[in-house]
Structure 1
Amino acid sequence: MGNTLFPVFLKTENIRFLIIGGGNVGFEKVSALLKQNPEAKIRIIAKTFGHDLKEAFNQYPHIEYQVKEFEESDIENTDIVIAATNDNSLHQKIKQVANAKNILVNVADQPDLCDFYLGSIVKKGDLKIAISTNGKSPTIAKRLRETFDENIPDEIDEVLHHLQLLRTHLKGDFRNKLEILNKITQTLSHSPEDLPRYMDYLSRYR
């Protein structure tokens, strides 16, 4: 069928996450969410919790957690479910129960059970890039993230800030505004490492 994925960016402050699994993979999923939003609404269910997750509970006291086995009623008041155990039959049950309530599920290391994938993410201030390999190779996605992270300068956030101000104050119709913005950003697309010259060029249009 090819790559039919449709990328979206969720406003995590409005999403209630349920993670099932308290081991290393569960901690990895929790860390990924907290990295994007330290106040993300997360609830975790597991029969046991590893040391790293226990430390996370101390650091982020808003995280809810229960020491118990998964039950169908745990799906209530949840928007997205992430299954991160080593029990494949449990994962299948979680997906069935969640999908019956129109809740999307991500299952660690089982692409065939996933309704969506958690991609590698590059974050530079307000710039965010999500990378997916359609479930084929998380390692490649990680390497690409590292490459982008190393080559996109941190100053890009300042550029975005100035462009936002410029867009607010530009006069004329949409076509005219687009032409000006394209002209300004052309320098950046050809030479992203040359930010000092780019910022000087941008200042002429303030």
Structure 2
Amino acid sequence: MPYFPFFIDISGRRCLIAGGGRIALHKINKLLPFSPEMHVVSPEICDDIAGIPGLCLQQREFRQSDLDGAFFVIAATDRQEVNADISRLCRERGILCNAVDSPADCSFFFPALAQRGDITAGVSTSGKSPLIAAQLRRQIEGLLTPQLAEICDILGELRQEIRGKFPLEKQRAQAMTAALEYCLQREKVPEYTELLEFINGLELKV
């Protein structure tokens, strides 16, 4: 069964990471750009994790109380039975859990992420083939140019102006489409004032 791809703000949300090795480091590095509050619990914590500022590190075995207040959990220990136990506890408490290398113990998966500025694309195969997800991610990364990220920013600024100028949703959609095409047809991203002048000159059908 495919998993629904939620895009959610995890900034400041508490994340428990049980594990302090290479796999935990990989998950942490994926999460860092999204600024969750990360708590790492493991008897051994590698130097690379210890050197990341802003993490809360506790060098000991996992305890059930570590789940208190957690929004989501990553079970990344080197013992599958411990990961499965953490997953079970999370299910009982309604906490999202990703257990490494065990799709059956996961309530969510890490997508293969392609990111440029505020544009984020995630690819999942529901845990079946990370290689396919990675291949698709590389193809998407080729489409996410710096110019496209700039266009995304300027169109985001323009949305409020378009809402004020065009009362109908159909007109707003037409205006945003026209603005995007205007940007894509130019070698350089237009200035906001230039794009606003273009929008003000539009005559759209009702």
Which residue of 160, 179, 193 maps to 2:174?
179
Identity %: 25
Q: Which residue identity does 2:187 align to in structure 1?
A: P
Q: Which residue identity does 2:153 align to in structure 1?
A: H
TM-score normalised to the size of structure 2?
0.84
Q: Which residue identity does 1:35 align to in structure 2?
A: P
Which residue of 131, 142, 149 maps to 1:139?
131
Q: CA-atom RMSD, angstroms?
A: 2.2
1:46 alignment partner in structure 2? 42
1:204 alignment partner in structure 2? 198
2:21 alignment partner in structure 1? 23
The Cα of 1:144 is off from its aligned counterpart by 1.9
Size of the alignment, in residue pairs? 194
Q: Which residue identity does 1:196 align to in structure 2?
A: E
The Cα of 1:167 is off from its aligned counterpart by 2.3
Q: How far apart are the structure 2 equivalents of 1:35 and 1:198?
A: 25
1:107-163 CA-to-partner distances (Å, cap 9, x unmatched) read 111111100001111111111111111111222222222222223211112212222
2:95 alignment partner in structure 1? 103
The Cα of 1:12 is off from its aligned counterpart by 1.6
Contact 1:79 1:104 in 2 (8 A): yes
1:1-206 equivalence runs, <5 A: 2-3=1-2, 5-37=3-35, 40-56=36-52, 60=53, 62-170=54-162, 171-172=165-166, 173-186=168-181, 195-196=186-187, 199=190, 202=195, 204-205=198-199
Q: How far apart are the structure 2 equivalents of 1:94 and 1:130?
A: 25
